[in-house]
Amino acid sequence: MTKDTRSAVIPTDRYTRFVSAGLGKDLAARLGLPQPAILRRYTPDAPLITGPVLVLGSSAGADELAARLLDWNVDVRRHGAPKLKLGAIILVLDELSHPDELSVPVRSVGSSLRDLAPNARVVTISRPAAPELEPAAAAARRAVDGILRSIAKELRNGATANGIVLDDGAGTTAPSVLGALRFFLSGRSAFVDGQFLSVSSERGELPEDWASPLAGKVAVVTGAARGIGAAIARTLSRDGADVVVVDVPAAGDHLASVANEVRGTALQLDITAADAAERILAHAAQRHGRLDIVVHNAGITRDKLLANMDASRWDAVIAVNISAQLRMNQAFLSSDLFTNHPRIVSVASTSGIAGNRGQTNYAASKAGVIGMVTATARLMEPFGGSINAVAPGFIETEMTAKIPFATREVARRLNSLQQGGKPEDVAETVAFLAAGSAGGVNGNVLRVCGQNLVGQ
């Protein structure tokens, strides 16, 4: 079931293009206006990162990671050099034990920030501030959160900063650490900024071909007839998956078009139906003999201030956005088709984290998705599987096109990248979480919001 919308017109962000070069850039600078950059997004065959990668840190883990990056044909540097335009800075802090140890490595990052090229990346690698730690170690580890998120807000020209948090059993070159690092360095993470991703185990497999990390996998995407769902289907197909697209019969024409485009199959059904999961499983069994990836994208809105909220608006949103997922996951995890390192990715929203005026029902459903993901993570472990959520912020979709112009412009600029994201940004994050290289990422919520909490 797709988000209800009748307009197929998605507005373009002409302002970003105007100020990205030439007279527009000069004018914006003189007037003190936002200066969003054209973001570097993923394109096949493009280099992972443009420019040298500076790896900072004195631990054995930093040395091992620097050596491993050479396998990716990355120009690795261990010390900064004045006026050398850097593609990325990786700060390895995997052995922190006291806040006093932060000064030298963090200030080393600071001395190189002005050398970052446009659309560069900063990535920290640290460990969680677990309650059982000594207070000094917990303080040092938690300090990384504030450091990374502050750096992200200082960056300009499309650069982003994100962090990888390793549990104490994972090394810096574990498969899922490398998978997460590659995602953050690449154009796939263009609209992911100021975020941390937890890697909780050594699980995960690196693909034989990074251009086709989902080769041989079968994926189901709900709400796939248009918008973010269609973008997810396209991206999973591009990455090698066989895709089953699902949506309501009323969206049948659009759904068929998407299925043809991705050379997949279409299944028309209402996900709130009691037998929705069984029909999906039967379709996957008949056409492909297996099911590896489920993407819960289908969702609706029925916005109203709570004082004016009626039962039909509330119940419809809860039924589609969370209750259907709970029922389907129970059926999927009981099926023999879904036992070989299965992946579930749910599309949540920053509304479920920060709330949004007039969206108590929607925010409740999306917060519910996050709670479901956290609790379901342990149920995936016996199968070597994972479940994670992607929480979009302001994304340029048919739904956000309905927002009044002035409100839409403000929402676009209220993030560190000073622009709205694209459906493809959500799709790239879903594809990353669905891949084998993210096998050690389980129970995470990754925001795709340009470092903001504007609900979509």
Active site residues: 362
CB hemisphere CA count around 410 (13 angstroms): 6
Q: Please give the distance of CA 275 from its chain centroid, rounded to a whole number.
A: 30
Measured from the Cβ of residue 194, the count of other Cβ atoms closer than 10 Å reads 24
CB hemisphere CA count around 329 (13 angstroms): 25
- Beta bridge partner(s), residue 381: none
Q: Please give the distance of CA 293 from its chain centroid, rounded to a whole number.
A: 16
Q: How far apart are CA 77 and CA 31, in angstroms?
A: 38
In order, the DSSP letters of 80-142 are --TT--EEEEEEE-TT--SGGGSHHHHHHHHHHGGGEEEEEEEEEEE----TTS-HHHHHHHH
Q: How far apart are CA 112 and CA 123, in angstroms?
A: 13
In order, the DSSP letters of 268-303 are E--TTSTTHHHHHHHHHHHHTS---EEEE-------
SS3 265: strand
Q: Buried (b) or exposed (e) across 114-137, using 16+ Cβ within 10 A?
A: ebbbbbbbbbbbbbbbeeebeeeb
Question: Would the CA dihedral through 180, 184, 187, 192 be positive or negative?
Answer: positive
Q: What type of residue sits at position 249? A: P
Tokens 């293009």 belong to: 17
Q: How far apart are CA 390 and CA 130, in angstroms?
A: 24
Q: How far apart are CA 422 and CA 450, in angstroms?
A: 11
- The strands making up 196-199's β-sheet, listed across from edge to edge, are 76-77, 53-56, 86-92, 116-126, 160-166, 196-199
Measured from the Cβ of residue 424, the count of other Cβ atoms closer than 10 Å reads 19
Q: How far is CA 41 from CA 210, 403, 411, 428, in A?
A: 16, 25, 21, 10
Residues 6+ positions from 206 with CB-CB distance below 8 Å: 175, 178, 179, 436, 437
CB hemisphere CA count around 161 (13 angstroms): 24
